[in-house]
């Protein structure tokens, strides 16, 4: 336990990275407290803005990578480019500093922001091509959530057809396809507040703390991205092989 001014910092101290969406973020968290968080909305490339944000977050917090006990990273699904850069950066930092690396599913991190309310949580993230990445979670009544469905890609109409009880929707796909959900499941689709529709590094960090407690020394090599569906390049290559 350490003191940062009047703030008591409990161990472990964790650096969290969320880079799966156009608006990424980085955060420093410890049990029960987000010490700092920065959003990465920028015209710079994913790699340039991410490294610069991490460096500034650590400097402004009066700490350095050596003082961090572990790193958590968002695993997707999400932007293929952002996801790969975020994971590669997290692995490089973890290996260079000999720190544990914890992977956190992005859709679960989004749902955790609504764990204190009683309704089922349907995460709906834009997947492009008129599809969404989606999964269903239930609050456990103790500040956590229970997964009821694996991450998958589907058309928003298909997701809406499966909503048969009042459900809170969260994610940029819920915003993008709001009219479809309102029309297909009137009175059942409830929408999260606007500020919660993007994944946050702090949520990734707190879930990372829970996973770190369960597995104290996760290896960087254990973290694998969650793509759900092939990238455009992989789909193009598959089509080329069929010709």
pLDDT at 204: 98
**Residue 11 to residue 107: CA distance in whole angstroms:** 26
Q: What is the pLDDT of residues 145-173, one digit of tens each?
A: 999 999 999 999 999 999 999 999 999 99
Q: Which residues have CB under 8 Å from 137's CB, separation 6+?
A: 108, 111, 120, 121, 123, 145, 146, 147, 148, 149
CATH entry, 2-106+200-242, from 3.40.630.40, 3.40.50.11540, 1.10.287.1260, 3.30.420.40 = 3.30.420.40
> What are the residue ranges in the chain where pLDDT is below 50?
233-242
Q: Which residues have CB under 8 Å from 182's CB, separation 6+?
A: 189
pLDDT at 40: 77
Angle between helices 46-60 and 80-97 (to 10 degrees): 40
pLDDT at 127: 96
What is the C-alpha R_g of the chain?
18
Q: What is the pLDDT of residues 107-146, one digit of tens each?
A: 999 999 999 999 999 999 999 999 999 999 999 999 999 9
Q: Are 34 and 15 in contact (CB under 8 A)?
A: no
Q: Is the domain covering 114-196 a CATH 3.40.50.11820 domain?
A: no
pLDDT at 23: 82
CA neighbor of 124 nearest in space, from 182, 178, 205, 80: 178
**Residue 15 to residue 22: CA distance in whole angstroms:** 20
pLDDT at 183: 97
pLDDT at 44: 58
Q: Where in the chain is the domain with CATH 3.30.420.40?
A: 2-106+200-242, 114-196
């Amino acid at each position: 336990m350490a003191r940062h001014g009047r703030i008591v910092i409990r161990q472990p101290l964790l650096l969290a990275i969320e880079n799966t969406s156009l608006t990424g973020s980085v955060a420093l968290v410890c049990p029960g407290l987000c010490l700092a968080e920065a959003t990465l909305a920028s015209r710079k490339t994913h790699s340039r803005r991410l490294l610069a944000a991490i460096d500034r977050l650590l400097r402004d917090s009066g700490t350095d990578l050596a003082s961090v006990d572990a790193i958590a990273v968002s695993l997707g699904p999400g932007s293929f480019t952002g996801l790969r850069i975020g994971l590669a950066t997290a692995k490089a930092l973890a290996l260079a500093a000999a720190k544990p690396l914890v992977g956190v599913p992005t859709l679960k991190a989004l749902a955790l922001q609504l764990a204190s309310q009683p309704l089922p949580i349907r995460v709906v993230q834009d997947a492009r091509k008129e599809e969404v990445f989606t999964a269903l979670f239930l609050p456990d009544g103790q500040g956590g959530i229970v997964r009821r469905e694996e991450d998958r890609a589907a058309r928003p109409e298909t997701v809406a057809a499966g909503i048969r009880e009042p459900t809170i929707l969260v994610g940029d796909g819920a915003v993008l396809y709001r009219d479809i959900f309102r029309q297909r499941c009137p009175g059942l689709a409830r929408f999260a507040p606007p500020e919660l529709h993007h994944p946050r590094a702090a949520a990734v960090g707190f879930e990372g703390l829970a996973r770190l407690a369960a597995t104290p020394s996760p290896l960087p090599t254990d973290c694998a991205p969650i793509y759900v569906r092939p990238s455009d390049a992989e789909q193009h290559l598959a089509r080329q092989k069929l010709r």
